[in-house]
Amino acid sequence: MVFTHLPSNFLLLLVPLMPNMQLAVVVLLVRHLLSQLDVPTRQSYTMAIVHSDERAASAGIMSVARNTGAAIAPLFTSAILATPSLGLPFLLAGGLKIIYDVWIFAVFRHVRPPEEMVGRSS
């Protein structure tokens, strides 16, 4: 999941650094092509590591958390856009998302779904 997100977030950092609008749009479109590749993998992994009796609640909590984040984000974005530097939201978002991706990878890199543990002698 992280391996599609990191390039996507680096592209987000590059958007305000593009010399013209056309290149900025191309970089943003390429970023969007990569940004959602992790969704099926993330959902599958999450459902695999969560106990079967907790899967519905887990899916609901994650959905509410994503929607809450999307609802709250405009409050911060509008304050950031009020400053003269138009590239700041892209730089902040890309930087925070990179930190988040690396953190998630560090926390979960050794957590394996039960199906992967069958037959292993760890």
pLDDT digits (tens, 9 = 90+) for 1-46: 777 788 898 999 999 999 999 999 999 999 988 887 777 777 888 8
Domain boundaries, the chain: 2-116
C-alpha–C-alpha distance, residues 48 and 15, integer Å: 36
Say what the pTM is: 0.69
